[in-house]
Structure 1
């Protein structure tokens, strides 16, 4: 996922198709995403950057950090938006279908969603499916049904992925017409609460893939980070897009706003590898998640009480600081507007840094009192020992 200075935002998901992987030249989904953000000034341009790359090089690549899980290969689904329009692009090898979202809401997950209602497609999309015997004719062609490989070796359970996609789409429909950045943050934290697949014992111990994804002994996949892209067509470039970002699983983490056009991200946000380091915000957030896992029902509410207050503070201040910046821009003082937003970003990050450090200190102390209550403790011990994460596991 990512955003560029023109207000183009892209998210992508792994999907699994019947088309072969191209090991020699195939591009990783995140490679195509980065290149699209580098070269595309609109959602449509960015989409066609991906399509051109796809048709020229094919796709392959692993979605794992080197040496983590082996060859976890996949093809890609993208959701691409700018302040004026949005597209969904779903791919299978060098074949693709694209749908323009003209009304309502849409979501993607690790499963194909486009069936027979696309706006653009590979010129031989249907012909190839007929040649391969995946359908009999143009009339019974269905992109998701024909090209998807729902029991591929590397793929998750397709039922999980369908449930996860349905959950995000249903929540978007529920709030359609009144969706704000705060609404999107709430949806990103969903664990199917109040539904027939609500976690039996708690979010980290769910048996189903949730929007806010937690890992378990069978699947090491979890939400690595979250982005809420706030895109506004009626604003000057400095205020056209806001990148609300959260590390790790958002249910026990905090979103913070960033801007473009000269407003900088703190330097320490670039720190972070696959091994724990105490000076990395990425690892501060992930350690908070791991600590909360040890007794989620007790520790997650404590963590949320801290971060809920911070997000409320940020959202109110965002309105104030953006209004100040807008007035400065209208007065021809854009450099001063950048300084105002930089002050806002810096103050947010400083507050959040203090909160991460506080939680990383008090949660281990609380565990001594409330005790560990986690179903997958052996899995967690193994994972943290490999990563060097200090946790009170005894």
Structure 2
């Protein structure tokens, strides 16, 4: 029997249905949290058709799988090194399917004693690479990954986000071979934070729920359902309810729901928070980036706020120093996939970085997004954004507002550029290679704009910091 200790990354995810958004877009987004100095790159994998059978072998745990002969074009954000696996994490493919993998979670010991995690099963490291390039809808993504877990097993408990223009799905792996998935209602959103979060499963509603074969029989046979009635609550059967959840996980969900549905009064340590909620207003990109960049602003729990020292560090915030990158994948309605999909990517800590838009239809990225290792280097996009964050950290009350002004200014410019880029592409009826080249050129220019402005800000902050040394001495002007 293979008993696996899960290697966790501590992420926060958000998913939004099309009727809950300003323009009918679907959204999925997530913070990838692992280490405070561990760069991410960005790349575009081209469409390829192979004559020979292809296979994937994980450097992380030896997971093996044969792959289809046609690999669709897709974007990805891999690690700076593949020594521990690819960890491509998030992207959008040529069919306009978005995927983010994964939201690490915990399964309880009761379930794992009957269906242990599989040492060489699929893990976070491989999921995007072996699923996203081979599916044409969000639901197909759930089904493909589900079939892999059922056949090969999973080495981790995880949550995986999928979206296309019409549907948003959240999938959770709760043991070695069992999983469920729920379609986010079109008028709702979900915020997830390192817990198995899906609640009641309706096995008769395949339009909105999917699950591993025989999961009901597995639970019944092994007496795993704690419910007094016949309800199948996945979170209660497979998940955990501990003090760790109440300190580390549920407060993040509480804050996301507090911001998006302020009419609903709740408390941070409530373990009965709803999985999906209707927002009090239509949501846009700014709402999602706010949640992913948040650190309990306007509450006593903000670690950089003015509250009591104990409360300021009581709960784990959403945006923190160990965030490698944060992304929001937006699929806009009534546009071809190349133009519809926008990958908003903030390298480093999102609260101190900026979400830069990149068109899914582009074929390349700025050279700085291909550079950077674990030691600082100024030619790396990751380190450019991380550098500003470190400078701001040293003098947050003074430098924080300056950073915020630039973030607001750049966000406005990015939206203006997207509007103009869209207009020109539509007016000129760009398609095929012409559209790809147009979107590549403009996406790289947007990435260059963000880098240039943050380098200017770094120079400004360094210059200002020269007068903030503890060795400074102010002489009486009258002497």
SS of equivalent to 1:88? strand
Structure 1 stretch 139-148 or stretch 174-183: which is displaced more? 174-183
SS of equivalent to 1:224? strand
Matches within 5 A, 1:1-394: 1-11=90-100, 12-18=102-108, 19=112, 20-23=116-119, 25-60=120-155, 74-93=156-175, 94-103=177-186, 104-118=188-202, 119-135=209-225, 139=230, 141-150=232-241, 157-173=245-261, 177-199=281-303, 201=305, 206-212=313-319, 214-215=320-321, 222-329=322-429, 334-370=432-468
C-alpha distance in structure 2 between counterparts of 1:246 and 1:176, whole Å: 26
User: Greater relative contact order (Cα 8 A, min sep 6): structure 1 or 2?
Assistant: 2
SS of equivalent to 1:2? strand
C-alpha distance in structure 2 between counterparts of 1:362 and 1:200, whole Å: 22
Structure 1 stretch 76-85 or stretch 106-115: which is displaced more? 106-115
Give, in angstroms, the shift of residue 230 of structure 1: 1.7
C-alpha distance in structure 2 between counterparts of 1:225 and 1:202, whole Å: 27
TM-score of the superposed pair, with normalisation by structure 1: 0.79
CA offset digits 1:258-285 (Å, max 9, x no partner): 1133442112211122332222111111
After superposition, the Cα gap between the structure-2 partners of 1:200 and 1:299, relative to the gap in structure 1 and judged at 3 Å, is closer
SS of equivalent to 2:103? strand
After superposition, the Cα gap between the structure-2 partners of 1:17 and 1:182, relative to the gap in structure 1 and judged at 3 Å, is same
C-alpha distance in structure 1 between counterparts of 2:380 and 2:99, whole Å: 25
Cα contact 1:161–1:209 (8 A) shared by 2: yes
C-alpha distance in structure 1 between counterparts of 2:280 and 2:153, whole Å: 36
Cα contact 1:202–1:296 (8 A) shared by 2: no
C-alpha distance in structure 2 between counterparts of 1:211 and 1:303, whole Å: 19
After superposition, the Cα gap between the structure-2 partners of 1:253 and 1:200, relative to the gap in structure 1 and judged at 3 Å, is closer
Cα contact 2:226–2:236 (8 A) shared by 1: no
C-alpha distance in structure 2 between counterparts of 1:133 and 1:46, whole Å: 31
Give, in angstroms, the shift of residue 176 of structure 1: 5.2
Structure having the larger proportion of residues in helix: 1
**Aligned-residue CA RMSD in angstroms?**
2.7
Give, in angstroms, the shift of residue 339 of structure 1: 4.1
Cα contact 1:90–1:97 (8 A) shared by 2: yes
Cα contact 2:195–2:240 (8 A) shared by 1: no
Cα contact 1:35–1:49 (8 A) shared by 2: no
